[in-house]
């Protein structure tokens, strides 16, 4: 096995292993996922995986495929009593904006704009989790978001043909996850003071 497939597999293993820990924490601990964010990420994961595969990302696209299935499972969990059900008006707006942007993927007709739009949709999809985390920073496990950003790094290493199309999603995962970690740790420190 070459280096690229190794890192592609590693990105999926880290991501899915972290999802298993996240789901365990949701079932037994303080973690309470927000269904809107996880549902949006499941949908965009499928689209990005297909787009990356079409332009030759190779094993670098594996993370998005694994991410889609894992996010769908967490979305289902979030719809139960273990999820955060405090759906604010802003969450509904973020969901509508994200879902309303999906048809633009087909309208643009170019892979580059499709990936950029999906990146924007993913970012908007993060809003419900950010809002919840600001008010309840102990309901999201910061260390798991660090692991998810590590899976993004492995995915970047696994890409066979580097371009905006094949790397933007992984770079986004890394940046957004680490920004959430900073928010969680900062809010926890403020609440302790």
pLDDT value at position 154? 92
d(CA 49, CA 63): 8
d(CA 172, CA 164): 11
- pLDDT band at 186; cut points 50, 70, 90: very high
Cα-based distances in Å from 2 to 5, 8, 26, 97: 6, 10, 36, 41
Question: For the chain, what are the domain ranges?
Answer: 3-192
pLDDT value at position 1? 65
Q: Which residues contact 26 (CB under 8 A, 6 or more apart)?
A: 32, 33, 74, 77, 78, 82, 83
Q: Answer yes or no: is pLDDT of 83 > 80.
A: yes
- pLDDT band at 105; cut points 50, 70, 90: low
pLDDT value at position 170? 84
d(CA 23, CA 99): 25
pLDDT value at position 52? 75
Question: In this structure, what token pair is assigned to residue 78?
Answer: 């979030």
d(CA 82, CA 32): 6
Q: What is the mean pLDDT of residues 34-62?
A: 79
pLDDT value at position 6? 93
pLDDT value at position 172? 86
Phi, psi of 87 (to 5 degrees): -80, 105
Contact (CB, 8 A) for 166 and 159? yes
- pLDDT band at 111; cut points 50, 70, 90: low
Cα-based distances in Å from 127 to 29, 98, 108, 134: 23, 10, 25, 10
Reported pTM:
0.77
């Amino acid at each position: 096995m070459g280096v690229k497939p190794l890192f592609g597999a590693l990105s999926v293993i880290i991501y899915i292993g972290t999802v298993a820990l996240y789901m365990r924490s949701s079932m037994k601990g303080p973690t309470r996922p927000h269904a809107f964010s996880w549902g949006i990420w499941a949908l965009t994961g499928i689209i990005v995986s297909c787009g990356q595969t079409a332009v030759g990302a190779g094993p670098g696209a594996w993370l998005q495929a694994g991410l889609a299935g894992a996010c769908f499972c967490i979305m289902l969990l979030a719809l139960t009593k273990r999820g955060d059900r405090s759906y604010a008006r802003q969450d509904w707006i973020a969901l509508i904006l994200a879902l309303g942007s999906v048809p633009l993927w087909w309208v643009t007709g170019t892979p580059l704009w499709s990936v950029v739009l999906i990146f924007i949709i993913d970012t908007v999809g993060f809003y419900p989790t950010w809002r919840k985390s600001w008010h309840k920073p102990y309901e999201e496990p910061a260390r798991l978001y660090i692991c998810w950003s590590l899976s993004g790094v492995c995915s970047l290493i696994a890409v066979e043909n580097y371009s905006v199309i094949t790397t933007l999603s992984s770079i986004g995962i890394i940046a957004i996850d680490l920004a959430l970690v900073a928010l969680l740790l900062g809010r926890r420190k403020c609440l302790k003071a």
